[in-house]
Every structure is written in structure tokens, then in C-alpha cells.
Amino acid sequence: MIILALDCSLDSCSAAILDDARGVLAERFERMERGQAETIAPMLRDVMAKAAVTPQSLDRIGVTLGPGTFTGIRIGLACAKGLALALGKPVLGIDSLKAIAANAGDVPEPIVVANDARQGQIYLGIYRGKETQLAPRRIALEDAPHFLPAGTLWVMGSAKAALIATAERADLRPRSEADIPIAAHFAPLVIAAEPDAMPLRPLYLAESYAKRPRARAEIVLAKGDDAARLSQLHGACFETPWSAAEMARLLAMPGAFCLIAQQKGEALGFLLLRIAGDEAEIISIGTRPNSRRQGIGARLIDAAVELLRQQKTARLLIEVADSNDAASALYRKFGFASVGRRRDYYRHADGRCEDAAIMRKEIGA
């Protein structure tokens, strides 16, 4: 049996060809935060060429269903379904947490996979060999220890350290394998799976942000005693949060203003800027993950521009990471234009550095 396995469900893209008699014939894996839609089709052609197999020789196609990123899950599923329809081949779904557990290979103990779901929640699943002992679910991190069986457990996933610390159990042991699906590793699950074992639909475990009602947020000016609140909000928005002390120091800078978008007292987003002379710079802007795509960022920018008009400020600057296409598009919509670059401006939690574009908007009267 010849299997094509593919994954786009998290911050990566991977594909592999597996022959149950000869093993993995070809594989590719690339980490990426975005760009899977442009990458997956050439990647599939590449692994099939390296494996010297034709699409018609495939017996099954396997794809991860989530939980993961909404866009990535849809890209992978659409690609697998389209290929299966064109070839008349069966396509089987694998949950992404089980795919991560497959990175550990054959181990006798159960494997707990805990992935960060933001806002104090995790995606949790438990697996033993090819058996699913606890199907994926989204729960509060503090509740997760109640779902763990007794005995030695291996722990994987992006939230493994947080789960081990919360559970306070000596028999939880972290594994060092990749905390992201790799097609070559989960492809054997596609051979073992029964057709229709998992419904071939996205496994989001959360309502899509696009389907949520738009928040009617009010914009208020932050005060000095909002530092702790802003620190918590910053932590919900970014992988490297600023402490309350750091936020208090930023708020105390001469010319600093911070706008908060809130609804019924809950802070949904913020924009921190500083005015120096006739220029202003956006130091940071963010929206909670569950409030994105609801116009919060646009309302904050509108409010900031109006504030700067009142202050007689001539122009507004911001640095935007090269990979942040959505932010770049939003700023261009508001009249920002690229005027320069900063090398290695952003440093990610995994040590990667990324260039930033300097964008500027002229503030009219």
C-alpha cells in the first residue's frame, strides 16, 4: 500500500510518501507561520517525484484535521480532498495531536499531547500506540490534570512544560521530539486507520473567529494603574509578554499614550504610542486572539490618528515584521507606506530574528 500523508495544521508544512513494504520513500518538512497555500502543492509534486510514484499509484491519502490554525487546517483538507476526488482515492483524517504523538515512535507508556490554545487553555489528547485513549478537547490548563490517568506518562506538545508544572506529578516525563506534526511520522497511522474512522471535517474545537459577532468595543485612554491589566492583555496577544513593571515604565514615558479597546469592561485590544516632536511611533498594537477579525485594530488606529490630529502631530511610524502580511495590508489601507527597513528587528521565542519594514503615515489636518 502506498500512502501520501500531508499536514498544514500548525506552523509548518510537510508531506511524505510511505510504502508499507519499503518504508518512507520521500519526505519534506518546512516550518512556516504562513505560506502553506503556496507551498503544499509544489511539495506534493516534489515528494512524489523523489519517490518515483505517480498520483494514480497512490492507494490512500492522509491529512491532519486539527486542532490547529483555522487557515492551515482548511488548506490541508482542501488539498487532500481535491486530490482524492481527482484520483478516485480514499482520504483519511488524523487528529493533529495524535500526529504529534507519532513523532515519539513506539513507546509502551501512554503519550499525553498538550498544545497551547491561548488564554489559559490547552488542546489535550492521550494516545497509546495507535489507540486514542482521550480524544482531543479544549480545556482550561488548570483542569487538565483531572483528565490524566495514573501511572507514568510521556508528555509532548507546545504546552508540555505548562502541563507538567500545573499537574505537579513526578511520573510525567517530557519528550524531546518535535511538538508539531511530521507527515513521515504519522503516515503509518493512515495505513492502520479504518476508512471513515474520523469524519473528514475540520477539528477546530473552538468556534471560528470569522463566525463570531463583531465586538462593539469602546476606545478609552489607559491610566497609570492599568499597567497590570495591559500586561495581561499583552501576554494574550504575543508570545513574549511584557511585565506589569515594563508596561508601567512605558506608560510613564514622556509623550506616551495607550488606547484600550474594551467591551463590558473586558480589554480586547490596545495600541501604545509615543509622540516626540512632530512625529509619533506605534510601540505596540495587539488584539486578543478571540477578538481578531472584528475590526478592533482598525478602530484603535482610527482613534490614534484622531488623537494625533488633536496633538498637531505630522506623521505616524510603525515597524511591521516581514511575515505579518495581514498587518501590512491593514496599515496600507490606512495610508501607511513603506519608507525603510530594520534588520533583525524582531526576535522570536525560538531565537529566530526577522526583519521589519518601517511604515509611515502622514497625519492630515
CATH number at residue 46: 3.30.420.40
Enter the C-alpha cell of residue 321: 515584521
Same domain, 230 and 158: no
Which of 146, 162, 192 is the C-terminal boundary of a domain?
192
Do residue 7 and residue 143 come from a single domain?
A: yes
pLDDT at 331: 87
Looking at the structure, tell me whether residues 291 and 350 fall in a common domain. yes
Q: How many domains does one find in the chain?
A: 2
Residues 95 and 215 in one domain: no
Residue-range definition of the domain harbouring residue 223: 211-362
Decide if 204 is inside a domain: no
Q: What is the pLDDT of residue 212?
A: 43
Whether residue 79 is found in the same domain as residue 171: yes
Asked whether residue 299 is assigned to any structural domain, the reply reads: yes
CB neighbours of residue 72 within 10 Å: 26
71 and 170 housed in the same domain: yes
Residues of the chain with pLDDT under 70: 196-198, 206-216, 346-350, 365
Determine contact, residues 290/316, Cβ cutoff 8 Å: no
Query: Taking CA 262 as the corner, what is the angle to CA 256 and CA 268, rounded to the nearest 5 degrees?
Result: 90
Could you tell me if residue 227 is inside a domain?
yes
pLDDT, position 210: 41
Instruction: Read off the C-alpha cell for 192.
Output: 492502520
pTM: 0.59
- With respect to residue 47, please indicate whether it lies within any of the assigned structural domains: yes
Report the 3 state secondary structure along the chain.
CEEEEEECCCCEEEEEEEECCCEEEEEEEEECCCCHHHHHHHHHHHHHHHHCCCHHHCCEEEEECCCCCHHHHHHHHHHHHHHHHHHCCCEEEECHHHHHHHHHCCCCCCEEEEEECCCCEEEEEEEECCEEEEEEEEEEHHHHHHHCCCCCEEEECCCHHHHHHHHCCCCEEECCCCCCCCHHHHHHHHHHCCCCCCCCCCCCCCCCHHHCCCCCCEEEECCHHHHHHHHHHHHHHCCCCCCHHHHHHHHCCCCEEEEEEEECCEEEEEEEEEEECCEEEEEEEEECHHHCCCCHHHHHHHHHHHHHHHCCCCEEEEEEECCCHHHHHHHHHCCCEEEEEEEEEEECCCCCEEEEEEEEEECCC
- The pLDDT of residue 240 is 80
In a domain, 205, yes or no: no
User: Is the same domain home to 136 and 82?
Assistant: yes
8 A C-beta contact, residue 357 and residue 348: no
